[in-house]
Structure 1
Amino acid sequence: MSAAKATTLGGTLSCMETRAMAPESEQETGRGLIYFADPMCSWCWGFSPVMQAVRERFADLPVRLIAGGLSPGVRTPLDERAKAGIREHWQQVAERAGAEFDYGFFERPSFIYDTEPACRAMVVVQAHAPQASVDFLRHLQAAFYRHNRDISDRAVLCELAGEFGFNRQTFARQFDSEHIRQETRNHFSVTRQMGVKGFPALFAVDARGRHVITSGYREREEVCEAIRRWLAAGSENE
C-alpha cells in the first residue's frame, strides 16, 4: 500500500457526533465499532489478538480507530519508580494475554514516555487509509513491545511507515503538518468527550446510540459474545 495512492485527508474530528465519526461503510449500515487505543498502552498490545479475532468474526462491522492519548506531551524522563510500575504492568499483560515483551526497554537511559508522536502516526494512517489503521497500530505495537524500537522518535516512525508500505517522505510531510497535529488533538478530545477513562476501549454504535463492549482488557470470547448480544438486540428492534 502506498500513501501516494491513498485518499486525501478528510475533515477533523472536533465536535463530531457518533455518525459523523463513522466511515462511509458504517454510515451506510448504521452500525459499527469504535476502538480507542494508544500504541504505547501495554494492555492495548495484549488486546491486539482480541481485536484481530473481532475483525475476522465480524468482518461486516467497520472499525473506526481513535488515538486515545495515554500520556501525550510528557517531558520528564522515566525514573526507576516509574519503570518498576511499567514493568509490573508488562508482566501482568504477559501473564494474562500471552503478549511478548522485550524487557531491554528498561535499560534505555532517560526515556521520555510521550505517546503523542505514536498516536500522531496512527492519525496519519487513519486519515489516509482507515482500512489499514488497526493493522498499522499492531505494526507500531510490535515494534515497541516485541522489538524495543523507540516509537516516540519521529525517524523510527517514518521507518516503520516505510516498512508498512507507505512512502516515507509523504508520511513524514503529513506527520509534521499542523493539520495532522490538530487532528491528533481532536482524537484526544473525542476520547474525553465520549467518556473513555482507560484503554483499550471498544464501543458499538448504531441507531440506538453507543454501547460499551469493553472498557479495559477482556478475553476474546467475552468480547465476541458481547458483540453478538449487541447485534442480536439490534435485530430484535428492527
Structure 2
Amino acid sequence: MKLVHVFDAYCGWSHGFSTTLREVIARHPELPVEVVSGGLFTGPRRVPVREFGYVQGANAEIAKLTGAVFGEGYERLIADGSFVMDSEAAARGVAALRQAAPERAAELVVALQQAFYVDGSSLSEAATYRAVAEGAGLDADAVVAAFESDEAPYTAADDFHRAAELGVTGFPTLLAVDGRQVSVLARGHATADDVDRRLASLS
C-alpha cells in the first residue's frame, strides 16, 4: 500500500493540509508517498487573482480551521489583484523537485507551498525552485533545468491525467492505493487522527 497526495500548489486548502500530511507521514514511515499535481488553475481558470473574489475569505477560513499561516509576503504579492496563479507552471516545478528527490516529494511540496503562501514567491519563477532546492540541500541547477526543460509541460500534463485517472475532483485528496484498490483517506480538511481511523478500517 502507498499514500497518494493529490494537491495543487496554488490551492489554499492544500496548504492548510500540510500539517496533517506531515503528521500522517511521521506516523506511517512504512508507507511510501506519491505526490501528484491536480491542475486547479489551468486554461480559462488561469486569470488574475482579482477575478477570484473569495480568496481572502477562504484563506481566513482555512487559517481558522487548520492553523495555516498566510504571510505578509503572500499578502503583498496578491494585494493589487494582478497576480496569476498558473497551476501548469507549479506542476512543472513540483515535477522538477520530485525528480531530484522522489522519496522527499511530500516534504518538498510543503516547502514549496510555504514559499508561496508565506514568503510570497511566485511558482512560475525558476528562482523559487532554486531557493526551495537549495533549502533542501538538492542540486538546484538540476531542479531549475528540469523546470525549464522542453519535457516539463508533458510532465505536468501527465500529473493532471494521473489525478483524473484516480477520480480526484477536489484538492487536496489523500488516497490509499493498494494494487487496484483506491480508498479516500481525506478530502479537503482532515486531521491525522481522521486519516488513521480510515487507514485502520482498510486493514
Deviation at 1:44, TM superposition (A): 0.8
Q: 1:204–1:210: 8 Å Cα contact kept in structure 2?
A: yes
Where structure 2 has 5 or more consecutive residues not aligned to the other structure, the ranges are none
Q: In the alignment, which of 120, 127, 138 is matched to residue 92 of structure 2?
A: 120
Match of 2:18 in 1: 48
Question: How many residues are paired up?
Answer: 199
Task: Report how far residue 180 of structure 1 moved.
Answer: 2.8
Note if 1:200 corresponds to 2:169. no
8 A contact 2:46–2:84 mirrored in 1 = yes
Residues 133-192 of structure 1: CA deviation (Å, up to 9, x unaligned): 111101111111112222222332223322322233222211112223211110001111
Question: How far apart in 1 are the matches of 2:81 and 2:178?
Answer: 47
> Given the alignment, which residue of 157, 174, 178 partners 1:185?
157
* 1:173 match: 145
Give the Cα–Cα distance (whole angstroms) in 2 for the partners of residues 108 and 170 of structure 1: 34
Gaps of 5+ in 1: 1-30, 233-238
Output aligned runs, 1:88-167, within 5 Å.
88-102=57-71, 103-167=75-139
Secondary structure in structure 2 of the residue aligned to 1:171: helix
- Larger mean Cα displacement after TM superposition, 156-165 or 212-221: 156-165
In the other structure, the counterpart of 2:8 is: 38
Instruction: Return the alpha-carbon distance in structure 1 between the equivalents of residues 80 and 136 of structure 2.
Output: 25
Q: How much has 1:107 moved relative to structure 2?
A: 1.5
Go from structure 1 to structure 2 and tell me whether the alpha carbon gap of 1:168 and 1:104 turns closer, same or farther (over 3 Å shift).
same
CA displacement, residues 95-149 of structure 1 (integer Å, 9 cap, x when unaligned): 1001111233432451111122222111112223211111110111111111222
Matched-pair contact (CA < 8 Å) for 1:203–1:214: yes
1:77 lines up with 2:48 in the alignment: yes
Partner Cα separation in structure 1 for residue 37 and residue 146 of structure 2: 16
Do the aligned partners of 2:115 and 2:128 also contact (CA within 8 Å) in 1? no
Determine which of 176, 183, 189 is the counterpart of 1:217: 189
**CA RMSD after TM alignment:** 1.8
Identity %: 28
Q: Alpha carbons of 1:133 and 1:208: their partners in 2 closer, same or farther (altered >3 Å)?
A: closer
The normalised TM-score by structure 1 is 0.77
Q: Which amino acid aligns with 1:123?
A: A
Distance 2:9 2:31 in 1: 22
Q: How far off is 1:94 after superposition?
A: 0.3
What are the Cα deviations for residues 24-46 of structure 1, in whole angstroms up to 9, with x where unaligned? Answer: xxxxxxx1111101111111111
Secondary structure of 2:184's aligned partner: strand
Separation in 2 of the partners of 1:207 and 1:65? 17
Q: What's the offset of the Cα at 1:215?
A: 2.2
Give the distance between the partners of 2:90 and 2:178, measured in 1 at CA: 30
Partner of 1:21: none
Q: How many angstroms does 1:75 deviate by?
A: 4.6
Which structure: larger Rg? 1
Q: Distance in 1 between matches of 2:167 and 2:19?
A: 24
Partner of 1:22: none
